[in-house]
Amino acid sequence: MNDILVMNQIVKKFGKGHTEITALKNLDFVVKEGEFVSIIGPSGSGKSTFLTIAGGLQTPTSGEILINQTNFTNLSEKKRAKLRFKEIGFILQSSNLIPFLKVEEQFYLVDKVTGRKKETSYMEELLESLDILALKDKYPKDLSGGERQRVAIGRALFNRPSLILADEPTASLDTEHAYEVVKLLVKEAHEKNKATVMVTHDSRMIEWSDRVYRMEDGQLREEKISG
């Protein structure tokens, strides 16, 4: 299986002088096609910084990142944005929906930006599997936090990215929907060969992971999966 995401010796520092902190410390990480990897660890340990750097939303202080063999670190901002849009599905802690677009319009915007024709049946398939098909004519303000999050998850998958990066995607969901969402992400990884990295607080959500890492002080350590 191909490496989808490779991170070599990533360092990320914030601030200067005596307020400087090193959020990531020479971190190495690889995720291959078809793998579902979970990252756990305490608040402030660097998980979100790791994920946003993996997806090129911020740049590391040093180190290199390859997405599908393309070196992300050397690209111009414009090329990086293009690669990010094509290859990466982000699911962030806040759902980032566009307030003035109905649920289905959030998806049609992706079709439009990509320059492909409307993929209504694929959109409906995703909405159905996320248990929100009935909401497709609603605006974000008329949805609960959990429903909004599920729309954002559907939208992230809609572009068929090769890499999915999810930052606590289940945080605003009740247990039942949290399981459904994680199962959907695992299925995407295993059946559609997506490389998936999920940051989570919730130890109940890691049982289907192929690998689990713990973030501690800006470094990743592989955990043994029990059971």
Provide the binding-site residues for Mg ion, judged by CB under 5 A. 47-48
Residue type, 194: K
**Closest CA relative to residue 51, chosen from 84, 79, 78, 74:** 84
Which of ligand ADP, Mg ion, none does residue 84 bind to, with CB < 5 to 8 Å depending on kind? none
Which of Mg ion, ligand ADP, none does residue 162 bind to, with CB < 5 to 8 Å depending on kind? none
**DSSP assignment letter at 21:** E
Render 68-101 in DSSP notation, one character per residue: TTEEGGGS-HHHHHHHHHHHEEEE-SS----TTS
* Min CB(125)–ligand ADP separation in Å: 32
Segment interacting with ligand ADP (CB under 6 A) among 38-46, 97-105, 125-133, 202-210: 38-46
Which of Mg ion, ligand ADP, none does residue 145 bind to, with CB < 5 to 8 Å depending on kind? none
Edge-first strand listing for the sheet containing 62-67: 21-32, 3-14, 62-67, 70-71
Q: Binding of ligand ADP at residue 47 (CB under 6 A)?
A: yes
Q: Binding of ligand ADP at residue 88 (CB under 6 A)?
A: no
Looking at beta carbons only, is 38 or 129 nearer to ligand ADP? 38
**Closest CA relative to residue 130, chosen from 119, 141, 122:** 122
Residues that bind ligand ADP (CB under 6 A): 14-15, 21, 23, 41, 43-49
